Every structure is written in structure tokens, then in C-alpha cells.
A = this chain, B = another copy of it.
Amino acid sequence: MTSRKGSPSLGDHAPRIIAVDTYDIRFPTSREMDGSDAMNPDPDYSAAYLVLRTDAGDGLEGHGFTFTIGRGNEVQVAAIEALRPHLLGRPVAELCADPGSVSRVLIGDSQLRWLGPEKGVMHMAIGAAVNAVWDLAAKRAGKPLWQLLADADPAWLVSQVDFRYLSDALTREDALELLRAGRHGAEERRAELLRRGYPAYTTSPGWLGYDDEKLFRLAEQAVADGFTQIKLKVGADLHDDVRRMRTARAAVGPDIRVAIDANQRWGVGESVEWVTALAEFDPYWIEEPTSPDDILGHAAVRRAVAPVRVATGEHVQNRIVFKQLLQAGAIDVLQMDAARVGGVNENLAILLLAAKFGVPVCPHAGGVGLCELVQHLSMFDYVALSGTVEDRVIEYVDHLHEHFTDPVVIESGHYAAPTSPGFSAQMLPESIAEFTFPGGAFWAADLASSRAEVPA
């Protein structure tokens, strides 16, 4: 196959996908307690990463990944590799003209479907592959993904959505109407987005492993940097949380929103007790109070803790669960994640559901590259679907951006709109080489030094 590279006119066919390269990339973030919370004390932020290579001869590749937190990243890579036969040999132009066709083929493989369906390792692998196709499509179109989506014909966008299991809440006709309505004023919003960016909030001050001094200092700094919302991890110990919440509120004053995040630590009763105990500090939302699978549980918590808002989504497995969270009135804030569900196509469905129900989307980000990806989806939503940034913020965490070719830019508490073509999904080759597990330079050295510490 290598012989085809650089020979786009060779043979009787249009350019095709000639390779699906995969990488197990892990960053040793657990050593600094970055990213620590009540359920994830020591994450090593990782990516099960793929590159679609073509014989188009234009140097363009499609990059995509699933974010994981360390162990098991190799399982996620194996899942991506299981998709390879569906991708290899596909004509690039057709693929990029209709990424939904890839999504349908991958989700529709009946044997692979058994491993979900549409959830967990296999579904996240599909999401990574689908996102890689969108990255390639946007690069070929010469546009950042948000702009490709915002420029697209509403009927074509609707054709990219799988309405199976949604039609009791959102029909094809509903979607078309929402997207057509989203066109009104889109040009003004695009200009506004390019001028001001999209509002962000920051989780960087509030990791559970940070001491109070560091929390206070980083919370003050966040306000100085222009953020109007911060977030604190809670849920390990109530006494600690009361003290930390008091510290955070003292640092930021009464006008900055302070969200709290329990990372699924509690049951329904415990959620209500804990949030009630922290209510005096005016938490803006409680995020992931309980299992992401517990739709009725979230609805019960929401009824009990109002006016504190209930937020979830980073672990919500697919559009069907989001549909029900909205139908049940279980959430005030929908926290879409770019790399948990089946990629851009399913996130279009989720954005449409949120628009239909009038619930603001405040995406989950952080990890590795989640900020880079999800900004595109929110920016599309602002320009051409919901048409507003009111009560909408994208999470921002200041980790690992240096490994990307088109890293996010934060200015005055806003994400600057990306202008490079693609989905901002591409890592630097030297980062991939260094942090590939276990053979990359960092891990090889790490393994050698830990061996040296063990007495013979």
C-alpha cells in the first residue's frame, strides 16, 4: 500500500483510505494530582488515537481519539482496530461528503453492536473513528469544523443524524425546523464569535488533591484571568468540602459562579444531603451527583436541590440517555462530551435534543484534547442552532494543550474561535513518539528507572 502514496492518479479509482494507524498514548498526569476527584484519584490522561491516511497526495490526514485515564487504553485501541475493515479502502471524497454513512456502517455492524449496543468501549471507538473522518472532511474543505457545520445546508445536517430511538422526542421534521430557524442572524453571530470567542469556565483551581492555599490562589487567579465561573471537585469528605467551598467563595466573592462536581460519588439520598449542606455557599450547579445511568435518580435530586442546578453528561453513553434526561426533566445543564458518544453525528443529535427542550449545553472538557474538540460543537451551536451563549460555558482545564498542532486559545475567559482547517484533533508527532505506551521515550525511561529502583 505504501507504494500508492503520492500517486493519486495511479490506478482506476479515486483516492481512498489506505491506512488506519493507531496509537496508545499516555501522559503521567497522576504524579501531580492534576485531574484528581472523588472517583478518579490518580488519572493518567490518555488517548486511544487513530490516524486515517489516504492516497490523495494532499498530505491531509484524519485524526481522532478516545480520551481515557490510563489503564485499559490498550482495550480502547483494540476496539478502534476492530473498526479498521470498515474504513480501509473507502473513497475519501464519498466519506467526507457523508460522514454519516461511516457512522451508520460502524454502529450497524451487528456483531460489534453486541458489545454495546452504542455504549462503552466499542461506542467510544466508533466516536473516535467518526471524529477522524470529520477532521479529514474539514481539512479538505479548508475550514475549521465549527464553520463547516455552520455553513452546511440544514437538510444535509439532518441527514447526518440517526433518529432511531429518538422520534418520540425529536423527529426529522423538528430537527429541520430548528436548523432552519438557527440560520436567522447566523452571520452576525459568526462575526461576534470571531470577535469575542465563546465563554469558558475553569476547573483548574478545584481538583480534590490540591491544598486550600493552592485552591485559593488559583481561584483568585481565575477571576483575574477573566473567568466568571469556576468549579470545585467535591464528594470525598463533607467537612473538607465545606471548608474548601468557603475558601473558594472567599477567593472569588459573591458574583462569580462556583459549580461543584461529585463525579458520581453519591446515591440519590446522599446527593440531596450533601448539596443541602453546601447550599449556603450558593453552588451554581451540582455536576454528576450520581450514576450517569440514573435518569430517574437525577430527576429526584433535581426536585430536591432546586434552585441549585443539576448537570451531567460527560459519562452519558449516548443520545438515548440524553433524550430521557430531558424528557424526565432531570437536568438543568447538559454536559456534552466530544469523545464519549459516537462522534460528531451523535453530538448533532444531542445538540438538537437540547435545543428542542431549551436546555443549555455546557460541554465537558479537559482531559487530553477534549477542549480542542468540543469548542467546535459549541461554536456551531451558537452560530447556527441555539443561537445564544446565555448560561452557556465550555469547561476549560489548562492541561496538555501543548501536545496539539492547533491548541485552544483562551482570552479573557473565552475560547477564541479556531481558524485552522479541521477538528483541532491532531497531536504533534514528537508528542506521540514520546508518550506512546509502553515503548515511547518517556515510558521506556520511566520503566528503566523503576527497574533500577528495585533491588536485584
Residues of chain A having any CB pair with chain B under 8 Å: 39-44, 68-72, 74-76, 78-79, 82, 109-124, 164-168, 264, 267-269, 290-297, 300, 315, 317-318, 320-321, 323-324, 327-328
Contact = CB atoms under 8 A, between A and B. Distances in A.
Contacts of A120: 115-116, 119-123, 317
A30 B290 CA distance: 41
A295 B292 contact: no
Contact of A296 (B78, B118, B315, B327): B327
B320 A293 contact: yes
Question: What is the oligomeric copy number?
Answer: 2
Contact of A110 (B69, B79, B119, B320): B69
Given A43-B110, A71-B112, A119 B119 contact: yes
B113 A324 contact: no
A259 B167 CA distance: 26
A69 B123 contact: no
Q: Which of A39, A168, A327 is most buried by chain B, counting CB atoms within 10 A of its CB? A: A168
Given A110-B41, A168-B300, A297-B165, A75 B82 contact: yes
B75 A40 contact: no
A450 to B, nearest CB: 15
A228 to B, nearest CB: 29
B295 A296 contact: yes
Contacts of A267: 164-168
Given A42-B110, A111-B43, A113-B39, A72 B122 contact: yes
A40 B294 contact: no
A339 to B, nearest CB: 11
Contacts of A119: 119-120, 293, 317
Contact of A82 (B41, B72, B167): B72
Nearest to A116: B120
A126 to B, nearest CB: 11
Contacts of A318: 293
A83 to B, nearest CB: 9
A268 B109 CA distance: 22
A71 B110 CA distance: 9
